[in-house]
Amino acid sequence: IATARLGWACPINPRQRCFISASGCSENLKLLQLLVKCTKQECHNLGVVFVDIAKAFDTVCHQHVLAGLTQRGVDSHMVHLISEMYRDITMYIL
């Protein structure tokens, strides 16, 4: 429900494969494989960039997330719900 309500305010790129209902990264890997193959056959140059934002989820300030949602016009009830998800978060590794 939250994903559906946030989708219009925070759209993601169609190539995004994380946090969505999709076949995972296999589709993107097949696409890259096909692109490399075609580029080699046609003797063209190809540049590929991989971006991995390390620790992106635990380094973003929760207040910035909430402020961004408010700025994008997300319903105050949804913003409150998400703020409650962040409240008193703890993690234990056994």
Q: What is the pLDDT of residues 14-45, one digit of tens each?
A: 766 666 666 667 777 888 899 999 999 999 99
pLDDT at 85 over 90: no
Whether residue 52 has pLDDT greater than 80: no
**SS3 at position 91:** coil
Q: pLDDT digits over 58-84, tens only? A: 778 889 989 999 998 888 999 999 899
- Listed in sequence order, the residues at least 6 apart from 6 whose beta carbon sits closer than 8 Å to its beta carbon are 69, 74, 78
pTM, two decimal places? 0.54
Q: Of 77, 75, 79, whose CA–CA distance to 64 is shortest? A: 79
Per the CB < 8 A criterion, the answer to whether 75 and 5 are in contact is: yes
Amino acid of residue 48: V
CA distance 9 to 73: 7
Stretch 51-58: mean pLDDT: 68
